[in-house]
Copies of this chain bind each other. A is one copy, B any other.
């Protein structure tokens, strides 16, 4: 598995046609559309200039929305993942 550094998370993106259990779908419009996924690993958090480390506001298992063009792709055992920064994550589906 991957241990992400700093404020990064590893995310398993949802298939594009998937509908969440809360009924959220993503519109097809001119504005930037977020994508859904599930957090599978979280980093130790962002380091402030004071030397303080900020705990991540996300945990493994969270279903999230993130900016469509963010992140780096990686494939583990034939499954595709993304490595994202916390700032690229818009919200958690609850």
- The number of chain A residues touching the other chain, given as a range, is 35 or more
A40 to B62, CA, bound (A): 20
Residue from B49, B74, B91 in contact with A8 in the complex, judged by beta carbons closer than 8 Å = B91
Residue interface mask A62-79, B partner, CB < 8 A = 1: 000101000111111100
Contact present for B90 and A5 (CB under 8 Å): yes
**Residue of A6, A32, A58, A74 with most chain B CB atoms under a 10 A cut-off:** A74
A27 to B51, CA, bound (A): 36
Contact present for B48 and A50 (CB under 8 Å): yes
A22 to B43, CA, bound (A): 19
Say yes or no for A17: interface residue by CB 8 A criterion: no
A83 to B54, CA, bound (A): 23
Smallest distance from the beta carbon of A51 to chain B beta carbons, Å?
Answer: 5
A sample of 15 inter-chain contacts (CB < 8 A) reads A2-B92, A5-B89, A23-B76, A24-B75, A24-B77, A31-B73, A32-B72, A34-B74, A34-B83, A41-B91, A47-B48, A48-B51, A49-B49, A65-B83, A83-B91
